[in-house]
Homo-oligomer: A and B are copies of this chain.
């Protein structure tokens, strides 16, 4: 940013550009300059990977419109979350969309190469948690992460998880997804020595209160290194896992 502004000012100093032109440019893009305002979707993601559209509550037409604008602006890779099959079918007529039904995700463009620090493990307590898990897994893959899926390894049958202990021990980041009592996050948090992202799901009935039980469990985990995202928020977990799995030394600007 500094460079761009400096060039602008130097041009002005050299009278190659007028005061009004500089003023207009500073006014038009005051935030693009400082590096966090490039994208216009609901989430500010890092450049060079893919843009994300939150599909829930948007009509197919709106999504098509946003998608076309992005493509025209040179953004080749787009991820659309919470996308229904019906919307996907309608969008496919206009855009080169790939639809992954289980994850309710639509993809335009191609997945990034897996270039993370290690493996992102996505574990679930039961089979009903798989749609949330797939949202997480596909998101992580799209942004360039190798993903290993450990499904249906809930703590009530501990042997299932323990028989995969090597996978757990070797993960770079683990996404632990569970409804009902949500104990999976604590058990994995106690076994692993990497960051664990806990995702409570609304799977369950009665006193699960649509995910509240799992949410509270995970927040109260006494294992270190566990943090929690919103109920059923597979995308959020997948994206955060990607960030952690791509950590690199920071150098000052």
Contacts and interface: CB of A to CB of B under 8 A. Distances in A.
Interface in A202-253: 202-233, 236-237, 239-240, 243-245, 247-250, 252-253
Interface in A24-40: 26-27, 29-32, 34-37, 39-40
A57 interface: yes
Residue of A39, A183, A193, A197 with most chain B CB atoms under a 10 A cut-off = A183
A225 B241 CA distance: 8
Given A222-B126, A225-B239, A163 B215 contact: no
Contact of A228 (B42, B46, B227): B227
Interface stretch (A11-19, A68-76, A88-96, A103-111): A11-19
Interface string A150-181: 00101111111011011001111000000011
A56 to B, nearest CB: 7
B219 A169 contact: no
Contact of A166 (B155, B217, B253): B253
A211 B217 contact: no
Size bin of chain A's contact surface:
35 or more
A117 interface: yes
Nearest to A215: B207
B197 A227 contact: yes
B186 A206 contact: no
Contact of A195 (B154, B192, B231, B240): B240
21 contacts: A5-B26, A13-B15, A30-B163, A37-B159, A43-B222, A44-B190, A44-B223, A52-B224, A57-B126, A57-B127, A155-B155, A156-B187, A156-B189, A181-B217, A182-B217, A200-B206, A206-B230, A206-B232, A207-B219, A216-B216, A227-B227
Interface of A: 2, 5-6, 9-10, 12-13, 15, 18-19, 22-23, 26-27, 29-32, 34-37, 39-46, 52, 54, 56-58, 62, 117-119, 125-128, 152, 154-160, 162-163, 165-166, 169-172, 180-183, 186-187, 189-195, 197, 200, 202-233, 236-237, 239-240, 243-245, 247-250, 252-253
